[in-house]
Chains A and B, each alone.
Chain A
Amino acid sequence: MTVDKSVLWTVIPAMAIGTYLIRFSFLGFLGATPLPGWLRRALRYTAVAVLPGLVAPAVLWPAATGGSPDPARLAAACATLIAGLATRSVLPSLAAGVATLFAVQALVS
Protein backbone atom coordinates (compact mmCIF):
# COMPACT_ATOMS: atom_id res chain seq x y z
CA MET A 1 0.00 0.00 0.00
CA THR A 2 1.36 3.44 -0.80
CA VAL A 3 2.24 5.86 1.94
CA ASP A 4 0.14 8.97 2.51
CA LYS A 5 2.32 12.02 1.82
CA SER A 6 0.96 14.11 4.67
CA VAL A 7 1.73 11.24 7.06
CA LEU A 8 5.20 10.86 5.52
CA TRP A 9 6.02 14.55 5.98
CA THR A 10 4.84 14.46 9.57
CA VAL A 11 6.80 11.32 10.37
CA ILE A 12 10.11 12.32 8.74
CA PRO A 13 10.74 15.60 10.63
CA ALA A 14 9.39 14.24 13.91
CA MET A 15 11.56 11.13 13.65
CA ALA A 16 14.57 13.23 12.65
CA ILE A 17 14.24 15.49 15.69
CA GLY A 18 13.40 12.66 18.09
CA THR A 19 16.26 10.48 16.87
CA TYR A 20 18.71 13.36 17.08
CA LEU A 21 17.67 14.19 20.64
CA ILE A 22 18.16 10.56 21.68
CA ARG A 23 21.67 10.60 20.22
CA PHE A 24 22.53 14.01 21.65
CA SER A 25 21.06 13.29 25.09
CA PHE A 26 24.05 12.23 27.17
CA LEU A 27 26.81 13.32 24.86
CA GLY A 28 25.23 16.76 24.59
CA PHE A 29 23.71 17.85 27.87
CA LEU A 30 23.28 15.03 30.35
CA GLY A 31 27.03 14.38 30.38
CA ALA A 32 27.98 12.98 33.75
CA THR A 33 24.42 12.19 34.89
CA PRO A 34 24.51 8.52 35.84
CA LEU A 35 21.81 6.40 34.25
CA PRO A 36 19.94 4.18 36.74
CA GLY A 37 21.11 0.59 36.42
CA TRP A 38 17.66 -0.82 35.60
CA LEU A 39 17.23 1.70 32.77
CA ARG A 40 20.66 0.94 31.33
CA ARG A 41 19.78 -2.75 31.35
CA ALA A 42 16.36 -2.15 29.79
CA LEU A 43 17.81 -0.07 26.95
CA ARG A 44 19.91 -3.02 25.86
CA TYR A 45 16.73 -4.92 24.98
CA THR A 46 14.94 -2.25 22.94
CA ALA A 47 15.67 -3.74 19.51
CA VAL A 48 14.89 -7.37 20.45
CA ALA A 49 11.76 -6.16 22.23
CA VAL A 50 10.32 -4.20 19.29
CA LEU A 51 11.37 -5.86 16.04
CA PRO A 52 10.03 -9.42 16.63
CA GLY A 53 6.59 -8.08 17.59
CA LEU A 54 6.58 -5.78 14.61
CA VAL A 55 6.99 -8.68 12.16
CA ALA A 56 4.93 -11.36 13.91
CA PRO A 57 1.52 -10.39 12.41
CA ALA A 58 3.01 -10.01 8.91
CA VAL A 59 4.56 -13.48 9.20
CA LEU A 60 1.40 -15.22 10.42
CA TRP A 61 -1.23 -13.28 8.49
CA PRO A 62 0.42 -11.72 5.43
CA ALA A 63 -1.61 -9.01 3.69
CA ALA A 64 -0.57 -10.40 0.30
CA THR A 65 -2.59 -13.59 0.86
CA GLY A 66 -5.56 -11.73 2.32
CA GLY A 67 -4.46 -12.51 5.87
CA SER A 68 -4.44 -16.31 5.68
CA PRO A 69 -1.22 -18.09 6.72
CA ASP A 70 1.06 -18.88 3.80
CA PRO A 71 3.52 -21.82 3.85
CA ALA A 72 6.15 -19.99 1.78
CA ARG A 73 6.21 -16.96 4.07
CA LEU A 74 6.19 -19.07 7.26
CA ALA A 75 9.05 -21.22 5.95
CA ALA A 76 10.99 -18.14 4.88
CA ALA A 77 10.59 -16.55 8.32
CA CYS A 78 11.82 -19.73 10.05
CA ALA A 79 14.76 -20.09 7.67
CA THR A 80 15.79 -16.45 8.26
CA LEU A 81 15.75 -16.85 12.03
CA ILE A 82 17.52 -20.22 12.04
CA ALA A 83 20.24 -18.92 9.71
CA GLY A 84 20.65 -15.88 11.96
CA LEU A 85 21.05 -18.03 15.06
CA ALA A 86 23.43 -20.41 13.30
CA THR A 87 25.66 -17.90 11.49
CA ARG A 88 25.35 -14.89 13.86
CA SER A 89 25.38 -12.74 10.78
CA VAL A 90 22.76 -10.70 8.94
CA LEU A 91 23.56 -11.37 5.30
CA PRO A 92 23.35 -15.18 5.27
CA SER A 93 20.05 -14.85 7.16
CA LEU A 94 18.68 -12.53 4.51
CA ALA A 95 19.83 -14.89 1.76
CA ALA A 96 18.35 -17.95 3.49
CA GLY A 97 15.01 -16.19 3.89
CA VAL A 98 14.75 -14.99 0.31
CA ALA A 99 15.90 -18.32 -1.13
CA THR A 100 13.37 -20.23 1.00
CA LEU A 101 10.55 -17.86 0.05
CA PHE A 102 11.15 -18.31 -3.67
CA ALA A 103 11.83 -22.05 -3.39
CA VAL A 104 8.61 -22.82 -1.51
CA GLN A 105 6.59 -20.48 -3.72
CA ALA A 106 7.92 -22.31 -6.78
CA LEU A 107 7.16 -25.73 -5.22
CA VAL A 108 3.61 -24.82 -4.24
CA SER A 109 2.56 -23.23 -7.53
Chain B
Amino acid sequence: MTDPRGFAMAAFLRGARHSLPFFLVILPFGMLFGVLGTEAGLTMAEVVAFSLTVFAGAAQFAALQMMQDQAPVWAILATAMAVNLRLMMYSVALTPHLGAAPLGIRAIIAYFLVDQSFAVSVAEYTRRPGMTLPEKTAYFFGAVLPVMAMWFAANIAGARMGQAIPPEYGLDFALPITFLAMVGPMLRSRADVAAAVVSVLGTLALIRLPYGTGLLVAAALAMAAGVLVETLTRAKDTA
Protein backbone atom coordinates (compact mmCIF):
# COMPACT_ATOMS: atom_id res chain seq x y z
CA MET B 1 0.00 0.00 0.00
CA THR B 2 2.28 2.77 -1.27
CA ASP B 3 -0.57 4.88 -2.65
CA PRO B 4 -0.75 8.04 -0.47
CA ARG B 5 -4.52 8.02 -0.78
CA GLY B 6 -4.52 4.57 0.76
CA PHE B 7 -2.61 5.88 3.79
CA ALA B 8 -4.99 8.82 4.09
CA MET B 9 -7.99 6.49 3.95
CA ALA B 10 -6.44 4.30 6.65
CA ALA B 11 -5.89 7.40 8.81
CA PHE B 12 -9.49 8.52 8.24
CA LEU B 13 -10.84 5.16 9.36
CA ARG B 14 -8.51 5.09 12.35
CA GLY B 15 -9.81 8.50 13.39
CA ALA B 16 -13.38 7.35 13.09
CA ARG B 17 -12.64 4.24 15.14
CA HIS B 18 -10.88 6.22 17.86
CA SER B 19 -13.76 8.65 18.34
CA LEU B 20 -16.55 6.05 18.30
CA PRO B 21 -16.45 5.51 22.10
CA PHE B 22 -17.56 9.13 22.54
CA PHE B 23 -21.10 7.97 21.79
CA LEU B 24 -21.38 7.24 25.53
CA VAL B 25 -21.27 10.96 26.25
CA ILE B 26 -22.55 12.49 23.03
CA LEU B 27 -25.78 10.54 22.72
CA PRO B 28 -27.17 11.46 26.16
CA PHE B 29 -26.00 15.08 25.93
CA GLY B 30 -27.30 15.47 22.40
CA MET B 31 -30.66 14.07 23.42
CA LEU B 32 -30.74 16.27 26.49
CA PHE B 33 -30.16 19.34 24.33
CA GLY B 34 -33.05 18.31 22.10
CA VAL B 35 -35.35 17.67 25.07
CA LEU B 36 -34.47 20.89 26.92
CA GLY B 37 -34.57 22.92 23.72
CA THR B 38 -38.11 21.86 22.94
CA GLU B 39 -39.08 22.33 26.60
CA ALA B 40 -37.81 25.90 26.24
CA GLY B 41 -40.18 26.40 23.30
CA LEU B 42 -37.79 25.76 20.40
CA THR B 43 -39.09 23.83 17.40
CA MET B 44 -37.15 20.84 16.14
CA ALA B 45 -35.92 22.95 13.22
CA GLU B 46 -34.64 25.57 15.66
CA VAL B 47 -32.87 22.96 17.79
CA VAL B 48 -31.16 21.54 14.71
CA ALA B 49 -30.32 24.98 13.30
CA PHE B 50 -28.77 25.94 16.63
CA SER B 51 -26.60 22.80 16.73
CA LEU B 52 -25.73 22.90 13.04
CA THR B 53 -24.50 26.49 13.00
CA VAL B 54 -22.89 26.71 16.45
CA PHE B 55 -21.81 23.07 17.01
CA ALA B 56 -20.54 23.67 20.57
CA GLY B 57 -22.54 21.79 23.19
CA ALA B 58 -21.50 23.51 26.43
CA ALA B 59 -22.04 27.00 25.01
CA GLN B 60 -25.41 25.96 23.58
CA PHE B 61 -26.57 24.68 26.98
CA ALA B 62 -25.35 27.89 28.62
CA ALA B 63 -27.15 30.11 26.09
CA LEU B 64 -30.32 28.05 26.46
CA GLN B 65 -30.35 28.49 30.22
CA MET B 66 -29.69 32.23 30.00
CA MET B 67 -32.32 32.78 27.31
CA GLN B 68 -34.85 31.05 29.56
CA ASP B 69 -33.79 33.31 32.44
CA GLN B 70 -34.49 36.33 30.19
CA ALA B 71 -30.89 37.54 30.36
CA PRO B 72 -29.93 40.42 28.05
CA VAL B 73 -28.64 39.34 24.66
CA TRP B 74 -25.16 40.84 25.13
CA ALA B 75 -24.71 38.90 28.40
CA ILE B 76 -25.82 35.65 26.75
CA LEU B 77 -23.36 36.15 23.91
CA ALA B 78 -20.49 37.18 26.18
CA THR B 79 -21.02 34.11 28.38
CA ALA B 80 -21.29 31.74 25.43
CA MET B 81 -18.11 33.17 23.93
CA ALA B 82 -16.34 32.85 27.28
CA VAL B 83 -17.32 29.16 27.43
CA ASN B 84 -16.00 28.77 23.88
CA LEU B 85 -12.65 30.49 24.42
CA ARG B 86 -11.09 27.10 25.09
CA LEU B 87 -11.59 26.42 21.37
CA MET B 88 -9.01 29.13 20.68
CA MET B 89 -6.50 27.06 22.64
CA TYR B 90 -7.35 24.11 20.38
CA SER B 91 -6.89 26.31 17.31
CA VAL B 92 -3.43 27.29 18.58
CA ALA B 93 -2.46 23.70 19.36
CA LEU B 94 -3.54 22.31 15.96
CA THR B 95 -1.77 24.98 13.90
CA PRO B 96 1.68 23.26 13.97
CA HIS B 97 0.03 20.09 12.64
CA LEU B 98 -2.57 21.34 10.17
CA GLY B 99 -1.53 24.95 9.53
CA ALA B 100 0.10 24.01 6.19
CA ALA B 101 -3.16 22.69 4.72
CA PRO B 102 -4.86 24.84 2.02
CA LEU B 103 -7.00 27.68 3.36
CA GLY B 104 -10.26 26.05 2.19
CA ILE B 105 -9.45 22.87 4.11
CA ARG B 106 -8.46 24.84 7.22
CA ALA B 107 -11.76 26.71 7.02
CA ILE B 108 -13.61 23.37 7.14
CA ILE B 109 -11.37 22.01 9.90
CA ALA B 110 -12.19 25.11 11.98
CA TYR B 111 -15.92 24.37 11.79
CA PHE B 112 -15.32 20.82 13.02
CA LEU B 113 -13.01 21.80 15.89
CA VAL B 114 -14.71 20.35 18.98
CA ASP B 115 -13.43 18.88 22.25
CA GLN B 116 -13.50 15.29 20.99
CA SER B 117 -11.93 15.77 17.54
CA PHE B 118 -9.20 17.92 19.11
CA ALA B 119 -8.42 15.49 21.92
CA VAL B 120 -8.09 12.33 19.81
CA SER B 121 -6.22 14.11 17.00
CA VAL B 122 -3.55 15.68 19.18
CA ALA B 123 -3.09 12.36 20.98
CA GLU B 124 -2.65 10.58 17.64
CA TYR B 125 -0.25 13.20 16.20
CA THR B 126 1.88 12.86 19.34
CA ARG B 127 1.78 9.05 19.18
CA ARG B 128 2.73 8.95 15.48
CA PRO B 129 5.11 11.81 14.76
CA GLY B 130 5.74 10.51 11.21
CA MET B 131 2.24 11.27 9.95
CA THR B 132 2.05 13.30 6.73
CA LEU B 133 -0.21 16.34 6.34
CA PRO B 134 -2.82 14.44 4.26
CA GLU B 135 -2.86 11.68 6.87
CA LYS B 136 -3.26 14.16 9.73
CA THR B 137 -6.07 15.93 7.90
CA ALA B 138 -7.81 12.67 7.06
CA TYR B 139 -7.48 11.46 10.64
CA PHE B 140 -9.05 14.69 11.93
CA PHE B 141 -12.04 14.42 9.60
CA GLY B 142 -12.42 10.74 10.43
CA ALA B 143 -12.43 11.58 14.14
CA VAL B 144 -15.13 14.23 13.85
CA LEU B 145 -17.48 12.30 11.57
CA PRO B 146 -19.01 9.94 14.17
CA VAL B 147 -19.14 12.77 16.72
CA MET B 148 -21.12 14.98 14.38
CA ALA B 149 -23.44 12.23 13.19
CA MET B 150 -24.22 11.13 16.76
CA TRP B 151 -24.73 14.69 17.99
CA PHE B 152 -27.30 15.58 15.32
CA ALA B 153 -29.11 12.24 15.50
CA ALA B 154 -29.33 12.59 19.28
CA ASN B 155 -30.58 16.19 18.96
CA ILE B 156 -33.41 15.09 16.70
CA ALA B 157 -34.31 12.12 18.90
CA GLY B 158 -34.26 14.37 21.96
CA ALA B 159 -36.42 17.02 20.29
CA ARG B 160 -38.96 14.29 19.43
CA MET B 161 -38.96 13.14 23.06
CA GLY B 162 -39.17 16.67 24.38
CA GLN B 163 -42.36 17.29 22.47
CA ALA B 164 -43.85 14.25 24.20
CA ILE B 165 -42.76 15.16 27.75
CA PRO B 166 -45.24 17.41 29.56
CA PRO B 167 -43.61 20.68 30.72
CA GLU B 168 -44.54 20.09 34.39
CA TYR B 169 -42.29 17.02 34.49
CA GLY B 170 -39.65 18.93 36.49
CA LEU B 171 -36.85 19.20 33.98
CA ASP B 172 -35.82 22.57 35.41
CA PHE B 173 -32.86 21.00 37.18
CA ALA B 174 -31.55 19.00 34.21
CA LEU B 175 -29.40 21.92 33.02
CA PRO B 176 -27.68 22.58 36.37
CA ILE B 177 -26.96 18.85 36.77
CA THR B 178 -25.58 18.76 33.23
CA PHE B 179 -23.17 21.62 33.91
CA LEU B 180 -22.06 20.15 37.23
CA ALA B 181 -21.50 16.77 35.58
CA MET B 182 -19.23 18.49 33.04
CA VAL B 183 -17.36 20.46 35.72
CA GLY B 184 -16.58 17.65 38.18
CA PRO B 185 -14.22 15.72 35.89
CA MET B 186 -12.56 19.01 34.79
CA LEU B 187 -11.30 19.70 38.33
CA ARG B 188 -7.93 18.01 37.96
CA SER B 189 -5.61 20.40 39.78
CA ARG B 190 -5.69 22.82 42.69
CA ALA B 191 -5.74 25.63 40.14
CA ASP B 192 -8.93 24.21 38.56
CA VAL B 193 -10.58 24.00 41.99
CA ALA B 194 -9.52 27.56 42.82
CA ALA B 195 -11.02 28.84 39.55
CA ALA B 196 -14.29 26.98 40.20
CA VAL B 197 -14.57 28.24 43.79
CA VAL B 198 -13.89 31.87 42.78
CA SER B 199 -16.43 31.50 39.97
CA VAL B 200 -19.16 30.38 42.40
CA LEU B 201 -18.36 32.84 45.21
CA GLY B 202 -17.92 35.72 42.78
CA THR B 203 -21.22 35.09 41.02
CA LEU B 204 -23.07 34.82 44.34
CA ALA B 205 -21.42 37.96 45.73
CA LEU B 206 -22.28 39.94 42.59
CA ILE B 207 -25.81 38.56 42.23
CA ARG B 208 -27.32 42.05 42.59
CA LEU B 209 -25.63 43.28 39.40
CA PRO B 210 -27.73 43.16 36.20
CA TYR B 211 -28.25 39.55 35.13
CA GLY B 212 -25.18 37.95 33.58
CA THR B 213 -22.81 40.81 34.46
CA GLY B 214 -21.74 39.34 37.79
CA LEU B 215 -21.04 36.01 36.13
CA LEU B 216 -18.69 37.60 33.62
CA VAL B 217 -16.77 39.52 36.28
CA ALA B 218 -16.59 36.38 38.40
CA ALA B 219 -15.38 34.33 35.41
CA ALA B 220 -12.57 36.80 34.74
CA LEU B 221 -11.55 36.70 38.40
CA ALA B 222 -11.77 32.89 38.34
CA MET B 223 -9.45 32.65 35.34
CA ALA B 224 -6.97 34.93 37.10
CA ALA B 225 -7.24 32.76 40.22
CA GLY B 226 -6.52 29.64 38.15
CA VAL B 227 -3.42 31.20 36.60
CA LEU B 228 -2.25 32.52 39.96
CA VAL B 229 -2.57 29.18 41.77
CA GLU B 230 -0.93 27.40 38.83
CA THR B 231 2.01 29.81 38.95
CA LEU B 232 2.34 29.47 42.73
CA THR B 233 2.15 25.67 42.56
CA ARG B 234 4.79 25.55 39.89
CA ALA B 235 7.08 27.93 41.81
CA LYS B 236 6.79 25.70 44.86
CA ASP B 237 7.50 22.54 42.82
CA THR B 238 10.66 23.97 41.31
CA ALA B 239 11.90 25.56 44.57
Contact = CB atoms under 8 A, between A and B. Distances in A.
Contact of A88 (B65, B173, B185, B220): B185
Contacts of A35: 92
State the majority secondary structure of interface residues on A: helix
Q: Which of A2, A45, A82, A101 has the most CB of B within 10 A?
A: A45
Contacts of A89: 185
A97 B219 CA distance: 24
Interface in A52-99: 52-60, 62-64, 73, 76-77, 80-85, 87-91, 93-94, 97-98
B145 interface: no
A3 B42 contact: yes
Given A2-B41, A85-B187, A27 B109 contact: yes
A32 B98 CA distance: 12
B95 A94 contact: no
Nearest to B68: A1
Interface stretch (B127-135, B156-164, B194-202): B194-202
State the majority secondary structure of interface residues on B: helix
A80 B180 contact: yes
A108 interface: no
A96 to B, nearest CB: 8
B95 A31 contact: yes
A49 B81 CA distance: 13
A36 B188 CA distance: 23
A101 B218 CA distance: 28
Contacts of A55: 175-176, 179-180, 183
B72 to A, nearest CB: 9
B200 A94 contact: no
Contact of A3 (B53, B64, B113, B199): B64
A103 interface: no
A91 B94 CA distance: 28
B166 interface: no
A7 B41 contact: no
B215 A58 contact: no
Contact of B183 (A30, A46, A48, A98): A48
Contact of B182 (A16, A41, A90): A90
B25 interface: yes
Contacts of A3: 40-42, 64, 67-68
Given A53-B200, A94-B177, A48 B186 contact: yes
Interface of A: 1-4, 7-8, 10-16, 18-20, 22-28, 30-32, 35, 38, 40-60, 62-64, 73, 76-77, 80-85, 87-91, 93-94, 97-98, 101, 105
